[in-house]
Amino acid sequence: MDRTAEWICFEQPLNERTRSLLRLAVQMQAGAVVQARFKAYGCPSAIAVGEWLAEQLQGRSLESLRLSDFAAPVIRAALEIPEDRAHCALMGEDAVPWLDDAGLPAR
């Protein structure tokens, strides 16, 4: 793997009310995510969201992804997140718009 490939990072500030934090980093090469990593702090649902996002991103080209793939209802359904933990899915939804700057199609 090319160690000079570009890393794009996102860090969400700590949510004082829910005590949750999510950091995502993706390594881009030739328009594709070659590595995706996460660091999450909070309840098990928050950690699951970070892991799910990293799994969904890794190995895919930007052209194959859509922001709608990461909407809170999609995340909640995929992980079976209960209503009282819906904020975790919203945290995941908020984490990916920065990919738009990297060329992710908005559809």
pLDDT in tens, 27-85: 988 888 899 999 999 999 999 999 999 999 999 887 888 888 899 999 999 999 999 99
More confident residue, 104 or 61: 61
List of long-range contacts for 20-24, beta carbons under 8 Å, 24+ apart: 20/46, 20/87, 20/88, 20/91, 21/46, 22/46, 22/49, 22/50, 22/91, 22/92, 22/95, 23/50, 24/50, 24/53, 24/54, 24/57, 24/95, 24/96
pTM of the predicted protein model: 0.82
| Segment 5-14, tens digit of pLDDT | 678 777 777 7
Please report, in angstroms and rounded to a whole number, the separation of the first and last CA atoms in the chain: 30
Pairing of strands 32-41, 21-29: antiparallel
More confident residue, 92 or 62: 92
More confident residue, 17 or 54: 54
